[in-house]
Structure 1
């Protein structure tokens, strides 16, 4: 059963969206095959390092994160989808005709085409789509907060004992005692459950908030680095309703955010070729907040694009597509 859209969340997301697109939209074979090929090339470039390290039995604390933390395999990232309402002319003989959530369509005449079955997808996963719609809309509607300075990573190693550090291969840049002192000299204000849940027991009561899974839609805000990375996660949750180009844009944002996340962390990442953002110093705080603001802007652009694609998918489903 398709869950009704969260119209209040979408309305709160801000400005009017793009013009309503025609349904169905027939895409000629040359165009969609070119888009699919370019998508595959871009996706393979994103995952090349991870795939090579995996074969060699090596890891990278920064670059592997998106493939180990989020359950979206490189092979899935490589798959291009056109989004809802697009009929891929002469696509019935393509491998994607056998993919889940695809259906044959003769809107383009003969030979038949293929399209994403938005109606079937939303009927089966309407509750997920509505949750994604709600959390993206509400997050985008809130002002960003830019005073946390990435201290969530520091709270994850606060007063840890030997062998308890999350990234054991990376040394602490300041050492344990000085790292603890940085935490104690600041007010923790993490709003994100999936960062907060990794706080050490000693760090938990130092946080101004106590995020939970239930309060996540009420606390997420665009200044949060982890909320920005999660735009990629929410895009994957919508499967073929999200065009491949948009999915990879979200992946690229998450990749860039992860770099800042670790550069501003208590870990010494110089061995990975990264320069530390020293958030314990005023200049480091200013640099962190500036990058954080830029990521907030990028993430809200992507939130709006995903919300528009979801609204388009609902229109396609209503039209029986």
Structure 2
């Protein structure tokens, strides 16, 4: 693994840029949280995904980056000091070997999911029906976002869902289907089959790039995690605009998938998100391959005096259950 060395000026600049970026991204959420206000769209990014705003804000350089002008105490238990030579200042870097010793199963699972998804063709005919299946024939007092009215009467929602072909491949969407809706799905995804069924057109598979990125942190750079968060945020907007909820009051005009025009708009947006996700998935796979396929002891240090190279293009437990969210 080739190592990049960042002096204090370079890494503090990158860290400050990352913190400012995250402050902008999560500021409205934190304001609402202080006021005790729930949000049916944005809260998902902080409830379903188990990564707190403070964790997202903390910048990490990623594996293979050595930081000078600092010490491990400034970075925490996942970092250690490295000696660079008699004439060079010592550096601090992520303890890649130690983290992999604890997290290898998680890292390899993530690689399986990402690689399997990347190999498959995208499916663009679901039209976001998973959100409709989550309220299908559901008693009014059990509808998840019951503070917000539905765009159709429950009977009309049921008629519309009954008229459609539901093909949801994403387990973490399917598991929230109502009991009445599950038999309507053409697939029966499970956690075990997830690496074999995820496909790159799926909104939720692409939102989950955020989950995989933060599960890999601090082994991947903070900029990559932020890029994945931004993608998840944008996809979530479409996900809920295409849902049966009426969220116009919050500034989310509906994508009416019950019409031909709405379905065409949904697919166009879905394809654009799939293109963005493919780039981020590739970056994550490259990072994971470097972690698994290379050994830290084979490092070749390439000193680079980096003064301003932000990567804006863009603590997990090994328990498999922690790879999933718990709410929608």
Q: What is the TM-score normalised by the length of structure 1?
A: 0.90
Residue among 65, 76, 96 paired with 2:44: 65
- Measure, in 2, the Cα distance between the counterparts of 1:159 and 1:70: 27
Q: Aligned partners of 2:26, 2:17: CA distance in 1, in Å?
A: 15
Identify if the C-alpha distance between structure 1 residues 93 and 126 changes in structure 2 by more than 3 Å, giving closer, same or farther.
Answer: closer
Matches within 5 A, 1:186-265: 186-265=164-243
Deviation at residue 83 of structure 1 after TM alignment: 0.8
1:33 aligns with 2:12: yes
Return the alpha-carbon distance in structure 2 between the equivalents of residues 291 and 162 of structure 1. 30
Deviations 1:44-79 (A, max 9, x none): 111111111111111111111111111100110011
Q: Is the 8 A contact 2:3 2:299 kept in 1?
A: no
**For residues 29 and 157 of structure 1, do their structure 2 counterparts lie closer, same or farther at Cα, with a shift above 3 Å needed?**
same
Deviates more, 1:48-57 or 1:252-261: 48-57
The 2-side partners of 1:186 and 1:230 are apart by: 26
The 8 Å contact of residues 85 and 316 in structure 1, kept in 2 or not, is answered as: no
1:288 aligns with 2:230: no
Aligned partners of 1:304 and 1:27: how far apart in 2? 24
Matches of residues 125-164 of structure 1 in structure 2 within 5 Å? 125-164=103-142
Q: Deviations over 1:268-311 (max 9, x none)?
A: 01011111000000000000011001111111110110111122
Q: Which secondary structure does the structure 1 equivalent of 2:93 belong to?
A: strand
Alignment RMSD (CA, Å): 1.5
- Which consecutive unaligned segments of at least 5 residues does structure 1 have? 1-21
Q: C-alpha distance in 1, partners of 2:206/2:51? A: 17
Instruction: Summarize the Cα distance change of 1:74–1:40 in structure 2 as closer, same or farther, 3 Å threshold.
Output: same
Deviates further, 61-70 or 148-157: 61-70
Unaligned runs of 5+ in 2: 301-328
Aligned partners of 1:247 and 1:232: how far apart in 2? 6
Which residue of structure 1 aligns with residue 28 of structure 2?
A: 49
The correspondence for 2:82, drawn from 105, 108, 130, is 105
Aligned counterparts of 1:89 and 1:152: Cα–Cα separation in 2: 49
Stretches (4+) displaced over 6 A: none
- For 1:114 and 1:80, the matched residues in 2 are separated by 14
- Rounded to whole Å, the distance in 2 between the matches of 1:160 and 1:120 is 48
